[in-house]
Amino acid sequence: MKRLLFFLVSLILLVIPLYADDGGYSIEAYKVKIEVSEENIFNIREDIDVNFIAQRHGIYRKIPIKNRVTRIDGTVSQVIAKVSDMKSNTVSTYHTEGNDKVIKIGDPQVTVTEKQYYALTYTYDLGKDVGKGYDEFYFNIIGNEWDASISNVSFEIEMPKAFEANQIDFSVGAKGNTSHKGVYYEVEGNRIIGYYEGSLQSGEALTIRIELPEGYFTATRDNVSWSINLNILMIFPIVILIVVLLLWLIFARNPREKIEECTYLPEGLNSAEVGMIYKGKASNKDAISLLFSLAQKGYLKIIDKSDKDSRYKASNSFEIEKLKAYDGGDKVEAVFFKGLFNRRDRVDEEKLRDTFYKTVNKVKKLVNEKDKRAHLFKKGADRAKVLAIILAILSHVSVTYISFAYGGYSGQLDAVTCAIIGSTAGVMLLAININKENITLSIGLITLGVILIGGFGGITFVPLLSDYQELIPVTIMNQVCYVVMFKVIQKMIKRTPYGQKLYLEIQGYKKYLENIDHRELNRLKQDHSNYFEDMLAYMMALNMSQKIMEKFSNLIENPPVWYEGQNFNSNGFINRLYRMMCSVEASMSSEPSSSSGDSGGGSSGGGSGGGGGGSW
């Protein structure tokens, strides 16, 4: 019985390959020759040897028009191609089916069997390259939509000019596969000649990707055009702006009240909580400011190593030493302290970099928790703010996209995305409140915003607006409304009466620091000689500038007990301390990069072209 069962199973396994191909054919050899031009246009020839195991009229070949280009880093682009000059070596018909151009090769009056040879040529125009900061040749030499096995795959690719051979990347197999096992090739000048050792099964692809320098391909343009009402397009962001203003006026506007200067902050608040009340939400800087509060309370010492050795300036400019265990009652400080040392007595900049951010995030989450915010901020304002942000972004994105569609760029998502991201980031920077204490930073942020709008956004807008000048007022109105919307959204923090009371006291303290004069400093020197050290953490949380901190230099006759450094000088100490604070903030908040900065990488079936086919 066992022998009979073994015989039947073996027979089935032998017979399955003969009938597994529902297409009634297999491809014995498939050679692809591609001539790539600088205009990102490919002249393609395909030589296909087919073995029919059932009567058929011929084969059909599907060539994609709309391509969804996927990379291994998760980035996705949509590419619209133009397919033209389709020819074959025998009777053929051509038509469009969905997102594919289809060539049907063979005579409907004649059936064929056994081995047949087909030759197919066509031009494949991908238009403007979709890479951001780079160009790429990313093409499915054999697509993953064939319904038969393919043997003896070979290819020859002629690039228009020189390229880096080490940037060539092949992938083979099912869609999404990144393996290149079995692919062999050599480079001769600008030519790539190779083959695949093995057989591609139904649904498998062979893909090549070459990362090229930006500008390798000459930009071309799609022939897509939309007809839209430009008046409606220009009015739309104005309407959304009015809605955002109404949301602010009704749900998120705080009453104007006079700010009275005060020497001290409200009692019972740590520096992270003060930052949260002042800004509406705790930031990295607010959380990290706790370091100086804990230092002043005697829990730790900060060792400034920036002058001991030049190498510390780049990688390890400070150390933090634990002096005693934390025994205070502040839960936020306890979490910070525990995450800082974590069963250690000493940490340095290198140990904190790319690791301590987890503790910073825990502290922010703790400070920003709902229960703590509930008695400070009104929930209705938060909902109104979220709605306003959604409306602002939708308005900007939709107007930008429709503008590009109007000019025939709807298929070039790289251009649209570049314009949206560039202008969005630029507008948000322009919307940042000018910091009067650090005008240099403000000018820098505004300049960066203009560069982003003019660079990332402008590079894509200029070609569009030069050809379609009627879009200029639409674009200007869209950007202006977007700037105003984000300025309004920044102010959408509605406080409870208690929250408003604390906010006004914090504002009064900030105003006190900004306006402090020599007479008041002399009074503090007599009444509270450690005032600067006691308030340093709060100054950091309130984004006080170095210029304001330097006003207190006369109060500092000796370095703080928690500070260890070389060559103390009261006049230069604030400058030195401020630089160290910046280093501490940068190291403690740094996170490991999610990627190495590569452009993406290719995967099998992830490029343009390819497609597939079958028999008929």
Residue-wise pLDDT for 488-516, tens only, equals 888 888 888 998 999 999 999 999 999 98
pLDDT above 70 covers a percentage of the chain that reads 76
Q: Report whether pLDDT(570) > 80.
A: no
Query: pLDDT for 127-159, tens place per residue?
Result: 887 777 788 899 999 988 888 899 999 999 999
Q: Is the pLDDT confidence value at 598 over 50?
A: no
Taking residues 226-244, report their average pLDDT.
78
pTM: 0.52
Structure tokens at 298: 């005697």
Residue-wise pLDDT for 180-228, tens only, equals 999 999 999 999 999 999 899 988 999 999 999 988 988 665 533 333 5
Q: Is residue 430's pLDDT more than 80?
A: no
How far is 575 from 579, CA to CA, in rounded Å?
6
Nearest to 215 by CA among 137, 300, 135, 136: 135
CA distance readout (Å), 471 to 226, 273, 364, 466: 13, 47, 44, 9
Dist. CA 555–CA 575, nearest whole Å: 14
In terms of C-beta density within 10 A (0-12 exposed, 13-18 middle, 19 or more buried), how is residue 349 classed?
Answer: buried
Residue 461 pLDDT exceeds 90: no
Instruction: Return the minimum-mean-pLDDT range out of 361-370, 497-506, 573-582.
Output: 573-582
Task: List, for residues 463-483, the tens digit of each pLDDT value.
Answer: 566 556 667 788 788 878 888
pLDDT for res 142: 93
Choose between 535 and 450: higher pLDDT.
Answer: 535
Q: For residue 240, what pLDDT is reported?
A: 93
In this predicted structure, the answer to whether residue 413 has a pLDDT above a threshold of 70 is: no
What pLDDT sits at residue 107?
86
The pLDDT of residue 578: 83
For residue 16, name the pLDDT band (cuts at 50, 70, 90): very low
Say which range, 176-190, 287-301, 441-455, has the weakest mean pLDDT: 441-455
Strand partners, 76: 70
Lowest mean pLDDT among 248-257, 332-341, 433-442, 596-605: 433-442
Statement: residue 608 has pLDDT above 50? yes
pLDDT for residue 418: 61
- Tell me yes or no: is domain 28-220 CATH 3.40.50: no
pLDDT in tens, 115-127: 999 999 999 998 8
Closest CA to 412 of 401, 421, 423, 422: 401
pLDDT of residue 11: 43
> Residue 172: pLDDT band by 50, 70, 90 thresholds?
very high
- Secondary structure in 3-state letters for 480-495: HHHHHHHHHHHCCCCE
Q: Token match 């009402």: residue?
A: 229
Which pLDDT value is given to residue 17?
Answer: 42
pLDDT (mean) for 350-356? 88
- What pLDDT score does 137 carry? 92
Confidence of residue 409 (pLDDT cuts 50, 70, 90): low
Quick one: DSSP state of residue 251? I
**Residue linked to tokens 């490029």:** 607
Of 366, 355, 360, the C-alpha closest to 291 is 360
pLDDT at 310: 47
What was the pLDDT predicted at 13?
A: 43
For 370-384, how does the pLDDT look when each residue is reduced to its tens digit (9 = 90+)? Answer: 777 888 888 888 788
pLDDT score of 183: 93
Mean pLDDT, residues 175-184 taken together = 87
Rounded to whole angstroms, the Cα distance separating 413 from 419 reads: 10
Q: What is the pLDDT of residue 312?
A: 44
> What's the mean pLDDT when you consider all of the chain?
80
More reliable by pLDDT, 332 or 6: 332
